[in-house]
Amino acid sequence: MSEPETRGTPSRRPDSDEAPFERSLEDFQENVRRAGPVAGASYGLIGGILLFGGIGYALDKWRGTSPWFLLGGLLLGLIVGFYDLVMVVFFPPRRR
């Protein structure tokens, strides 16, 4: 009979020379490497909201049209941030 497959983790036999701590460290590094693009896109979402919201707030203060530019900036920041997040999650960058 064949062994059951585990999803997402490569099958490896434990080596007698390799310490369990080293294996767990390698697995942790692999998880961080795979999560990097999505984490970056989520920071882009937050940055887009803050940047465009800040620009909208400054325009409202300058023009005296509170809260319309702020709301427009926040909406634009959400659109740009979610676009970046969707592109990374559903269309991941190809490895070189």
Domain presence at residue 88: yes
Residue 54 inside a domain? The answer is yes
Alpha helices (H) in 64-96, listed in sequence order: 68-90
pTM score, whole prediction: 0.66
Interatomic CA distance for residues 23 and 37, integer angstroms: 23
The answer to whether position 20 is within a domain reads no
Interval 5-18: pLDDT, tens = 555 555 555 555 56
Domains in the chain, number: 1
CA 48, 53, 55: angle at the middle one, nearest 5?
Answer: 100
Residue 41 φ/ψ region, left for φ over 0, alpha for ψ in the -120 to 50 degree band, beta for the rest: alpha
Range of the domain at 74: 46-96
Summarize pLDDT for 16-61 with one digit per residue, the tens. 556 888 888 899 999 988 888 888 888 999 999 999 999 999 999 9
